[in-house]
Amino acid sequence: MLRATGSLFGLAYGDALGKPTEFLSVPEIVARYGHRGPQDLDGDPALVTDDTQMALAVAWALVDAQPTEGRPWSAATLEPPLRQRFLAWARSPQNNRAPGQTCLRACAALEDGYRWQRATVSGSKGCGPTCG
Ligand SMILES: [Mg+2]
């Protein structure tokens, strides 16, 4: 668990560090921050993006579905908590960090009760066609 926590902290820190550059081009990033990019967190508290929020939803779903003796992780045990965590994220007032339309559409389909495979947005050029 400690290694997972450290990995998630690193993810969140890097995400928050890069957040101000999310919609900038490389020349714009270089002009604003130099060739090394941002070196300090912006804001107090520095905010993560929807990417970390969704990664945390996955992490919490894995905790929720933690294997027990005779009940290992499987699609059947992981899907319900993953759906619940993604829907909680989608409804959260903290979901105000420029989430992609593909993620939001997939979460809306999950909320409407579609099966995971049907909730996806096939053909999307976004990185969240399975709400993640
Ligand atoms: Mg994002």
Q: How far is the CA of 126 from the centre of ligand 1 (A)?
A: 10
Question: Residue 88 has which token pair?
Answer: 């909680």
The Cα–Cα gap between 120 and 32 comes to 37
Cα of 68 from ligand 1 centre, angstroms: 33
In the beta sheet, which residues pair with residue 68? 71
Q: Residues 84-109: pLDDT tens digits?
A: 999 999 999 999 988 888 899 999 99
Tell me the CA–centroid distance for residue 111 and ligand 1, in Å: 20
Domain boundaries, the chain: 1-47, 49-132
Q: Is the pLDDT of residue 129 over 60?
A: no
DSSP 40: S
Please tell me the distance from the alpha carbon of residue 57 to that of residue 53, in angstroms, as a whole number.
Answer: 6
Nearest Cα neighbor of 126 from 97, 101, 96 is 101
Q: What is the pTM of this model?
A: 0.87
CA 100 to centroid of ligand 1, rounded, Å: 6
74 CA distance to ligand 1 centroid (A)? 27
Separation of CA 53 and ligand 1 centre (Å): 9
Instruction: Kindly report, residue by residue over 118-128, the tens digit of the pLDDT.
Output: 998 888 876 65
* Burial bucket for residue 19 (CB in 10 Å: 0-12, 13-18, 19+): buried
Structure tokens at 55: 């990664």
